[in-house]
Chain A
């Protein structure tokens, strides 16, 4: 006797998008970073720094929009430390990225001392006028806040940038072979630094979406592993923007769906429901990336390798 009538599909889709957006933002940023040949494992640290920067500025200014900008800026600044260490001082990317996560978690806890238990200004859904009144579709497509649309636009923009623009081609070239790109006269370090900062800004937006919309409040350590999920999604999506979108929405969607199924009293074992977001996301992305040779091609060849101009 499964009574699932209490699950409202429209509300479900809305909460699915809210749940997926933080991971989506962080993952699309990391995709650009990795496409440029840099592996930044500090996504979690940048997200949480963005979460607190955005929260503080939104509370102080009363404007969530300014808060989101501050989040992007703060996390981009943090990521530039990573950029300086790995690109200029040639430190190990894996170790530096892990250190960035630890640093971000500590820094955000320190910054957030006076902001525990405070309410953030509300980010309300955009008003699309008549469009929002279309039954069902209107509620599903036109009832979200602007960050949801921005995150979707970022996916489309990243895809178009990598596929159709000269700058995107240069970025990919740097990620495939930094020596060849350097020989052609491209500024490898500058391009990578910009990519890292873009990745930081996106992760910061994702973090701020947690503290300003999804939860919405500041709690220490509130990202609770979302950054690692984003990193995993980039790899499983074989560095393709639309697959990142699919992965993030699958993961976020199934997380929300399984909680709703539990709340509605579905007679599916809870153990299965709880592992389903991980299993289904991995399965789907692995299956669509099943062609090994093509999957290997989409991984940037110089991912994680240090670059030194004189070598």
Chain B
């Protein structure tokens, strides 16, 4: 595939190409922040890519580039893909936001879809995201029940609204079932660095944490918890982005799975029949984009039932994880009794809720 795209771009450069639009196939590009084999975030996006191939067969060709750093280098990769004849390009990390819009300005005929961002400066840019905080509410509930030390650890990547939503959602729900719970957040400033993620997990475990959540992409924290358990510890984790079922039934006791396949298949289909439009999609459990993986037998049946009831309530729309009363960390009111957070309030979230310790880095 890569060779083919190289040849295509070479042909374009030589002025020999008749244009990708003249062909019947739709070329779909994917820009990944980590390796396809990370077992987490990028792996799930690649599963979405494979679903697109499976859905459209010969009518579609996919190209992808792994390990693309956020920043100027991503702009180069996107430009190359656009030159190689991509009709639609999915850029699958928050840090590609400005690069996506910059490249989109230069290629008005190519559609761009940026994951987890909010900037749509051109009519050919759309954004999409999943309501991960819905899944966080469920695992927060499980974590609140499972912790014995009343300390939950959270390996956070970057201080952006998406990550802060996850921290607040899981803390609120852990606190709801266990008022004594505390949450230690460790910011690692990376999406993918197995060694650092493992170090962070070990630091949390050494500080008395017995349930670890992560908002980073590798399975290293799971392995660290597994090693701690073999040395006589009692630490639980949750699969992140992907099921990470290799670490079930313990330490991994449940997971939040991002399923991008329905969205990717739908959007590529819209490019094919010419109905694609810019916009923002934010699907969650009802759309099947956020899925809770199997809850293992380490979790008591009553807790499992409670978690499943919450999944059902979020899926049928009767429960929103951010429903008032919710106070901010400084004591001011975020949501009054019965009030539900708007999407704008969620995507601009830059504060901890009441009861959290520590500060969000600026």
Which A residues have a C-beta under 8 Å from some C-beta of B?
A: 6-8, 11-12, 15, 19, 22, 105, 109, 112-113, 116-119, 122, 210, 214-217, 219-226, 255-256, 259-260, 262-265, 269-271, 274
Contact = CB atoms under 8 A, between A and B. Distances in A.
A116 B218 contact: no
B39 A262 contact: no
Interface stretch (B220-228, B270-278, B341-349): B220-228
A210 B204 CA distance: 19
B362 interface: yes
Interface string B25-41: 00000000011111100
Interface string B1-41: 00000000000000000000000000000000011111100
Contacts of A117: 39, 219, 244, 246-247
A259 B194 contact: no
A221 B34 contact: yes
A269 B361 contact: yes
A270 B361 contact: yes
Interface string B255-299: 000000000000000000000000000000000000000000000
A259 B35 contact: no
Which residue, of B153, B218, B230, has the highest number of chain A Cβ atoms within 10 A? B218
Contacts of A223: 195
Nearest to B204: A263
B186 to A, nearest CB: 4
Given A217-B223, A221-B34, A265 B195 contact: no
Interface string B192-211: 11111011101110111100
Contacts of B38: 219-221
A273 to B, nearest CB: 8
Nearest to A259: B203
A219 B189 contact: no
A220 B200 CA distance: 19
A215 B207 contact: no
A216 B198 CA distance: 8
Contacts, number: 124
B247 to A, nearest CB: 8
Interface centre among A113, A215, A264, A274 (most CB of B within 10 A): A215
A22 B195 contact: yes
Contacts of A210: 194-195
9 contacts: A112-B37, A214-B195, A224-B190, A226-B195, A256-B199, A259-B186, A263-B203, A264-B207, A271-B361
Contacts of A222: 194-195, 218, 220
B130 interface: no
B185 interface: yes
Chain B's interface: helix, strand, loop or mixed, by majority?
mixed
A296 to B, nearest CB: 33
Interface residues of B, number: 46
Contact of B184 (A8, A112, A220, A262): A262
Interface of B: 34-39, 67, 153, 184-190, 192-196, 198-200, 202-204, 206-209, 218-220, 223-224, 226-227, 230, 244, 246-247, 357-359, 361-362
A149 to B, nearest CB: 20
Contacts of B67: 105, 221
A222 to B, nearest CB: 4
A264 B193 CA distance: 21
Given A256-B203, A259-B203, A216 B361 contact: no
A177 B186 CA distance: 49
| Residue in B207, B226, B357 with the greatest tally of chain A CB atoms within 10 Å | B207
Given A119-B226, A262-B187, A270-B187, A214 B198 contact: yes
Contacts of B190: 224
Nearest to A105: B67
A122 B195 CA distance: 17
A274 B187 contact: yes
B36 A122 contact: no
A116 B194 CA distance: 13
A224 B184 contact: no
Contacts of A226: 195
Contacts of B185: 262
Given A221-B35, A274-B187, A260 B223 contact: no
Contact of B37 (A220, A224, A265): A220
B57 to A, nearest CB: 25
For the complex of A and B, the 8 pairs showing the least CB-CB separation, nearest first, are A117-B246, A220-B35, A220-B37, A224-B193, A259-B203, A270-B361, A263-B207, A222-B194
B206 A15 contact: yes
Contacts of A19: 195, 199
Contact of A265 (B184, B193, B218): B184
Given A215-B220, A262-B184, A269-B361, A274 B189 contact: yes
A260 B208 CA distance: 11
Given A15-B206, A265-B357, A220 B220 contact: no
A229 to B, nearest CB: 11
Contacts of B206: 6-8, 11-12, 15, 260, 263
Given A215-B194, A222-B195, A259 B200 contact: yes
Contacts of B219: 117, 217, 219
